[in-house]
Chain A
Amino acid sequence: MGGIPLFPEAASSFASEVDALYLFIVAVSAFFTVAISAAVVFFAFRYRRRHPEEIGAHIEGSLPLELLWSIIPTIIAMVMFAWGAKLYYEMRRAPAESLQIYAVGKQWMWKFQHTGGQREINELHVPVGRPIKVLVTSEDVLHDLYFPSFRTKIDAIPGRYQPLWFEATKPGRYHIFCAEYCGTKHSGMIGTVIVMEPQQYQDWLAGGGSEGTMAERGAKLFNDLACNTCHLDSGQGRGPSLKDIVGKQVELAGGQTAIVDEGYLRESILNSQAKIVKGFTPLMPTFQGLVSEEGLAALIEHIKSLSPQAAASAPAPVPAAAPSTSTPAAPAQGARR
Chain B
Amino acid sequence: METPVYPAHNYLTNGHGLKSWLLTKDHKRIAILYLISISAFFFLGGLFAVGIRLELTTPQGDLFQPDTYNKFFTLHGVIMVFFFLIPSVPAVLGNFLIPPMIGAKDLAFPRINLLSWYIYVVGGIFTLFAIVAGGVDTGWTFYTPYSAASSSTNVVPTALGVFISGFSSILTGLNFIVTIHRMRAPGLHWFKLPLFVWAHYATSLIQVLGTPVVAITIVMVFAERAFGFGIFDPQRGGDPVLFQHLFWFYSHPAVYIMILPALGVISEIVSTFSRKRIFGYSFVAFSSLAIAVFGFIVWAHHMFVAGITVYAAMVFSFLSFSVAIPSAVKVFNWSATLHRGSLSFEAPMLYVYGFFGLFLIGGLTGLFLATLGTDIHLHDTYFVVAHFHYIMVGGAIMGYLGGVHFWWPKMIGRMYSEFWSRISAILVFVGFNLTFFPQFVLGYMGMPRRYHMYPDEFQVLNVLSSGGAAVLGLGYLLPVIYLLYSLKYGEVAGNNPWGASGLEWRTQSPPLTENFLEVPTDIPEAYEYTPKVVREAKLV
Contact = CB atoms under 8 A, between A and B. Distances in A.
Given A37-B356, A40-B335, A57-B276, A25 B342 contact: no
A151 B460 contact: no
A114 interface: no
A84 interface: yes
B325 A88 contact: no
A86 B376 CA distance: 13
B329 A49 contact: no
Given A65-B336, A180-B380, A188-B453, A48 B343 contact: yes
Nearest to B381: A179
Contact of B324 (A8, A54, A77): A77
B373 A153 contact: no
B306 A155 contact: yes
Nearest to A33: B360
Interface stretch (A14-22, A204-212, A250-258, A294-302): A14-22
A25 B373 CA distance: 11
Interface residues of A, number: 91
B150 A141 contact: yes
B280 interface: yes
A56 B274 contact: yes
A244 interface: no
A18 B234 contact: no
Nearest to A22: B374
Given A54-B342, A61-B281, A36 B356 contact: yes
Given A4-B441, A29-B367, A43-B343, A153 B324 contact: no
Given A56-B529, A61-B281, A187-B452, A8 B446 contact: yes
Contacts of A181: 70, 139, 143, 146, 449-450
Interface string B366-395: 011011111111011100000000000000
Interface in A202-233: none
B372 A88 contact: yes
Given A81-B371, A187-B454, A5 B445 contact: yes
A85 B146 contact: no
Contact of B70 (A47, A56, A88, A183): A183
Interface string A23-37: 001001100110011
Interface stretch (B163-171, B212-220, B235-243, B503-511): B235-243
Contacts of A29: 361, 364-365, 367
Most buried by A among B237, B329, B380: B380
A177 B448 contact: yes
A144 interface: yes
Contact of A158 (B240, B318, B361, B450): B240
A276 B166 CA distance: 44
A186 B70 contact: yes
Interface in B323-360: 324-325, 328-329, 331-333, 335-336, 338-345, 353, 356-357, 360
A142 B240 contact: yes
A43 B338 contact: yes
Nearest to A164: B305
B461 interface: yes
Given A18-B374, A153-B377, A148 B446 contact: yes
A153 B304 CA distance: 10
Given A55-B530, A66-B283, A187 B377 contact: no
A74 interface: yes
B332 A187 contact: no
B379 A184 contact: no
A84 B325 contact: no
B128 interface: no
Contact of A88 (B67, B314, B538): B314
Nearest to A3: B460
Interface string B126-156: 0000000000010100010110011100000
A184 B370 CA distance: 30
A143 B275 CA distance: 53
A8 to B, nearest CB: 5
B200 to A, nearest CB: 22
Contact of B338 (A3, A4, A44, A65): A44
A332 B381 CA distance: 36
Interface string A98-119: 0000000001000000000000
A122 B415 CA distance: 61
B275 A183 contact: no
Nearest to B66: A184
Given A61-B280, A73-B325, A22 B314 contact: no
Given A69-B332, A158-B145, A187-B452, A6 B529 contact: no
Given A47-B339, A60-B277, A53 B360 contact: no
Interface string A168-181: 00000001011111
A179 B240 contact: no
B517 interface: no
B374 A21 contact: yes
By CB atoms of chain A within 10 A, which of B151, B274, B371 has the most?
A: B371
Contacts of B444: 6-8, 22
B535 interface: yes
B18 interface: no
Contacts of A175: 446, 455
A200 interface: no
Contact of B446 (A28, A78, A177): A177
Contact of B276 (A59, A153, A187): A59
B534 interface: yes
A84 B373 contact: yes
B6 interface: no
Contacts of A3: 460
A157 B238 CA distance: 12
B313 interface: yes
Given A36-B331, A84-B317, A140-B150, A155 B307 contact: yes
A201 interface: no
Given A37-B357, A78-B321, A93-B310, 8 more contacts: A8-B446, A36-B332, A53-B534, A55-B531, A56-B341, A89-B310, A144-B448, A186-B450
16 contacts: A6-B445, A36-B335, A36-B356, A37-B356, A50-B342, A66-B329, A80-B367, A84-B370, A88-B310, A155-B305, A175-B455, A179-B379, A179-B448, A179-B449, A181-B449, A185-B66
Q: Which 7 A-B pairs give the minimum distances between C-beta atoms? A: A159-B234, A148-B446, A56-B276, A87-B373, A88-B372, A84-B371, A61-B280
